[in-house]
Amino acid sequence: MRSILLILCGGLVAVGVVLAARGTMPTGLATAPATSGDKAALGRSIRDYLMANPEVLVEAMQELERKQDSQRDTVAQKAIQENRSALMSDPESPIVGNPNGDVTIVEFSDYQCPYCKRAHSAVKSVLAADSKVKLVFKDLPILGEPSRIAAFAALAARAQNKHLALHDALMEFSGKLDRDRIMEIAASVGLDIAKLQKDMDDPKLKVLIERNMALASALGVRGTPAFVIGNQFVPGAVDADTLKRMISDARTKG
């Protein structure tokens, strides 16, 4: 929840909207101050009103969040329509589930992100129970160099048909990642490490991650995980029940 300071600095317009809607505009707020003395008086009037009616701050915060969410959704919807093929049909992006599924989930994730790890179990369980879902992985290594190494390793593991095995192992690992630990995890799922390290140097992998970054930027992704489920953009971790509901909504809406 945003701090009161942020609301006062960035959300005064929302406060004004709430006050106007309630018909409780403090005296002088509706007119522009003409002098510095008027400005000081107006500031005191606003402060006194908010101190006496602190619930207005909560309403203003909610109004500001609704506005920001609406703007985010508008940007994301436009980006989904304009980048549908790159999101859902990029042949270089790993997929699991049903390649011809009636609902496609696109997941942006980072192997060091604790929220991604939390969402991973929900996504995995839903895919196991629903044979009509296609999942597209979009590596978004935003949490430092170990994240990039892990992303390159997971993508390079496709050459040995071990992407999903390494993806699951990295997501389910709870310790700190570095290159040595990533290679240990890769070896534990049966990867040839010498070949993996060579394949990680393929320049196509860097290009793919750059494409993922560009897509995330277009969608307005501000952190991981983030999902596109059907035509809907979903920032943040989701639990299994929420995921099932959104898949059902996507089927209903076609």
How high is the pLDDT of residue 39? Answer: 72
The CATH number linked to 161 is 3.40.30.10
231 with 124, same domain?
Answer: yes
What is the mean pLDDT of the segment spanning 57-63? 67
Residue 219 banded pLDDT, cuts 50, 70, 90: very high
Of 170, 95, 167, the residue nearest 133 (C-alpha) = 95
Lowest mean pLDDT among 17-31, 73-87, 150-164, 236-250: 17-31
48 with 147, same domain?
Answer: no
248 with 135, same domain?
Answer: yes
Residues contacting 94, CB < 8 A, separation 6+: 136, 137, 154, 155, 158, 163, 164, 167
How high is the pLDDT of residue 52? Answer: 79
Single out the residue in 65, 82, 99 at which a domain terminates: 82
Domain span at residue 153 reads 84-253
38 with 116, same domain?
Answer: no
Reply yes or no on whether the pLDDT at 89 is more than 80.
yes
117 with 229, same domain?
Answer: yes
pLDDT, averaged across the chain: 85
pLDDT above 90 covers what percent of the chain?
67
Domains identified in the chain, total number: 2
Single out the residue in 22, 57, 82 at which a domain terminates: 82
Reply yes or no on whether the pLDDT at 10 is more than 60.
no
Residue 8 banded pLDDT, cuts 50, 70, 90: very low
Give me the residue label for tokens 């945003």.
2
pTM, two decimals, is 0.73
Three-class SS string for the chain?
Answer: CCCHHHHHHHCHHHHHHHHHHHCCCCCCCCCCCCCHHHHHHHHHHHHHHHHHCCHHHHHHHHHHHHHHHHHHHHHHHHHHHHCHHHHHCCCCCCEEECCCCCEEEEEEECCCCHHHHHHHHHHHHHHHHCCCEEEEEEECCCCCHHHHHHHHHHHHHHHHCCHHHHHHHHHHCCCCCCHHHHHHHHHHCCCCHHHHHHHCCCHHHHHHHHHHHHHHHHHCCCCCCEEEECCEEEECCCCHHHHHHHHHHHHHHC
Residue 20 banded pLDDT, cuts 50, 70, 90: very low
150 with 71, same domain?
Answer: no
111 with 202, same domain?
Answer: yes
Single out the residue in 50, 82, 114 at which a domain terminates: 82
179 with 217, same domain?
Answer: yes
Cα–Cα dist 178/143, whole Å: 12
108 phi, psi to nearest 5 deg: -95, 125
163 with 45, same domain?
Answer: no
Give me the residue label for tokens 């496609």.
104
97 with 192, same domain?
Answer: yes
| Number of C-beta neighbours around residue 31 at 10 A | 9
101 with 130, same domain?
Answer: yes
Q: Are 18 and 65 in contact (CB under 8 A)?
A: no
How high is the pLDDT of residue 62? Answer: 66
102 with 221, same domain?
Answer: yes
47/198: higher pLDDT: 198
What is the mean pLDDT of the segment spanning 183-198? 98
Cα–Cα dist 5/237, whole Å: 27
